[in-house]
Amino acid sequence: MDIMYRSTRSKDIRVTASQAILTGLSDDGGLFVPESMPKFDVSLGRLKDMTYQETAYEVMKLFLTDFTEDELKSCIKGAYDSKFDTDIIAPLVKAAEGGTSAEGHSDNTGVQGEDAFYLELFHGKTIAFKDMALSILPYLMTTAAKKNGVKNEIVILTATSGDTGKAALAGFADVPGTSIIVFYPKDGVSPIQKQQMVTEPGKNTMVVGVDGNFDDCQTGVKNIFNNKELAGRMDAKGYQFSSANSINIGRLVPQIVYYVYAYGQLLMRGDLSEGEIMDVVVPTGNFGNILAAYYAKLIGLPIGKLYCASNENKVLFDFFGSGTYDKKREFILTSSPSMDILISSNLERLIYRIAGDDPEKTAGFMKQLTGEGEYTITDEMREQLGSFEGGFATEEDTAEEIKSVYEKTGYVLDPHTAVASYVCRKIASASSVKTVVASTASPYKFTRSVMDAIDKDKYAGMEDFDLVDELNRISGVKIPYAVESIRNADVIHKTVCAVEEMQKVVEDKLGLAK
C-alpha cells in the first residue's frame, strides 16, 4: 500500500513521499506526516542477523513507498559505505563501570551506568549524528527529482545549530543539479563546528554567519520558503528550494533505522530477548531524533519510555511537565549548542498526532506560538504523551557528567551526549528496563567544552587544536579525519549578515535581484 503524506496544517495537501522530500516544507508552512503509520513486517528475531544496510531497507521501504526496491537499495549503498569509520555504522556500546564491550568494534573503552547502552551515531563523515540521515538525503533527493521530472536546480536552504550545516555540506557538495546555502548563528557554534563549515571547498556551497541565534536562522529560512513571490522568481530562473533540516521527511525516515538496528544489536548480544521492551534517552533540540524514535515505536519496535533530554534551554522539559509550550524566555548559549533551540520544529508532528491528526487544531497551536509565544494542549492530548518524559541537565551537571565518566572509565562523552547520560542516570536508571542513550557527537567536535569540563585550570589557556591533541593523549581515541583535515584548511566562506538580510543574501547568490 502506498503511504501518502499530509501537511500538519491543512486538509487539502496530499503528496507522495518523493514529492514531500523534494519540497521539504509544505506550502502552507506545515510539516509532512505519513497519512497512516505503516507496520514493521520483519520478525524482531531476524533483526539480530541484519546489517545496517539491510535494516535501513526494511524500515525505509515502509515509508518511501514510491521508491522502487532498486532505487532505495542504491541510495542506501551509496550512503552507508566507507564514509563511516566502522562497517557496522552505528555501534552500540555497553555501559558498565571498569570496561565496556561493543560487538564487532574494538576501540571503545568503558562507560558507567547500570543498564545503559550508548548508541554511537557519530561515525560518519562530519562526526555528528546528522550524518546518519544527511549521507542519504542527497541520494533520495536526486532520485526524487528524476522521478518527478524536475528540471530546476534544487537549492538546499539550511539553518544550522552547528552540526546539520557541515553534514549537509558534506552530503550535497558537488552533487550535480543541486546547490546548498547554510545559515549558522555566528556566535552560537563551537570553534570546530565553525571551522568545519567555513572551510567547505564544494563549488556549489555557500556558508553564511547570521548575527542572531539558531531560532532566528530557522525562522528566517522558513520565511524564505514560504515566500510565494520569491518562489515565482526562482522558478523563472530555473531554481527551486528544498530543505536539509529535520523538517524534511527525508531526514526523519533514515533516523528511524538506527533505533531498529540498536534493538537488533541488543538481541544479538543477548541483552534483550525478543519482544522485550527497551527505553531510549535522546539529547534533544529540534525534536527530530526523538521523533524518529517515536516513529520506530509506532511501527512496532518495542520501545517503552522516550526520555527527552534538554540542556538549560528546557522548553521541552517544561512542556512535558505542564502541557504548556512557552518559548518566551531567555535564549541560553550552552556547551551543547546543537540543542540551543527554543522552537523545536518537529514537535509539530507530535502535536498533530496527539490532536488526532487534526490539521486545523495543529495550525491553531502553531499560530498561537508565533503570535503569543505559547500554547497549551488539552488534557485529552496530554494523556497521549504517556511514553514521553522530559529531563534536563544544567551546564554544571553536564560538565560534571563528562568529568565523572572520564575519571571512572576513561571514556570521553561530548556535551550533548553528556546531557542525555546525566538524564539517564538521574531518571531512567530507576527502572530495570534496558536503556539506550543516543550518543550524538564525537567529543572532538567540542574539545574546548570537553577539556574544560575535565580540568578547567589546566586547559583554559590552550589553543583549540592543541586541545585536540591533548584529548587524543588522554582518551587514546584516534583523531577523526573530519578534524585532522580542517586543522590547516583555508577559510573560504566569510559572509556574515543580519537576520533581515538573509533573503537578500539568497537572492544575490542566485542572481535573482528584481
Ligand X SMILES: *Cc1c(COP(=O)(O)O)cnc(C)c1O
254 in contact with ligand X (CB under 6 A):
no
CA distance 313 to 301: 30
Between 289 and 435, name the residue whose CB sits nearer to ligand X: 289
The amino acid present at 401, given as its one-letter code, is E
Q: Is 284 in the site for ligand X (CB under 6 A)?
A: yes
Residue 334 binding ligand X, by CB under 6 A? no
Q: Which is nearer to ligand X, 13 or 89 (CB)?
A: 89
CA dist., res. 208 & res. 509, Å (int): 11
Residue span binding ligand X (CB under 6 A) among the ranges 42-50, 141-149, 179-187, 281-289: 281-289
* Contact with ligand X (CB under 6 A) among 334, 338, 362, 447: 338
Does residue 56 belong to the site contacting ligand X (CB under 6 A)?
no
Binding mask 126-165 vs ligand X (x if CB under 6 A, - otherwise)? --xxx--------------------------------x--
- The beta strands (E) that lie in 121-248 are given as 153-159, 178-185, 205-211, 239-243
Residues 383-402 that bind ligand X (CB under 6 A): none
285 binding ligand X? (CB under 6 A): yes
Q: Which is closer to ligand X, CB of 254 or CB of 288? A: 288
Burial of 134 (0-12, 13-18, 19+ CB in 10 A): buried
Mask of contacts with ligand X, 183-202, x by CB under 6 A?
A: --------------------
Q: Read off the amino acid at residue 315.
A: V
> d(Cα 162, Cα 167) in Å, to the nearest integer?
9
CB of 275 to ligand X, least distance (A): 28
What binding mask, one character per residue, do residues 77-116 give for ligand X by CB under 6 A, x or -? ----------------------------------------
Stretch that binds ligand X, among 103-111, 135-143, 225-233, 283-291 (CB under 6 A): 283-291
Q: Is 283 in the site for ligand X (CB under 6 A)?
A: yes
List the x/- string, 487-506, binding to ligand X by CB under 6 A. --------------------
In the chain, DSSP finds a helix count (H) and a strand count (E) of 21, 16
For residue 291, the minimal CB distance to ligand X (Å) is 8
Query: Is residue 440 at the binding interface for ligand X, with CB under 6 A as the rule?
Result: yes
246 binding ligand X? (CB under 6 A): yes
Q: Can you tell me the distance from the alpha carbon of 260 to that of 59, in angstroms, rounded to the nearest whole number?
A: 8
- Relative to beta strand 153-159, strand 178-185 is parallel
Q: At what angle do helices 347-354 and 288-298 cross, to 10 degrees?
A: 40
- Least distance between ligand X and beta carbon 99 (Å): 25
Task: Report the catalytic residues.
Answer: 130
- The whole-angstrom separation of Cα 224 and Cα 227 is 5
Question: What is the C-alpha separation between 385 and 396, in angstroms, rounded?
Answer: 29
Find the binding residues for ligand X in span 400-439 (CB under 6 A): 416
Identify any residues that bridge with 132 across adjacent strands, giving them in sequence order.
none
- E strands, 148-228, are 153-159, 178-185, 205-211
CA atoms within 13 A on the CB side of 326: 10
| Beta carbon of residue 342, minimum distance to ligand X (angstroms, whole number) | 12
Select 220 or 285, whichever has its Cβ closest to ligand X. 285
Residue 325's region, left for phi above 0, alpha for psi from -120 to 50, else beta, is beta
Residues near ligand X (CB under 6 A) are 128-130, 163, 246, 283-289, 338-339, 416, 440-441
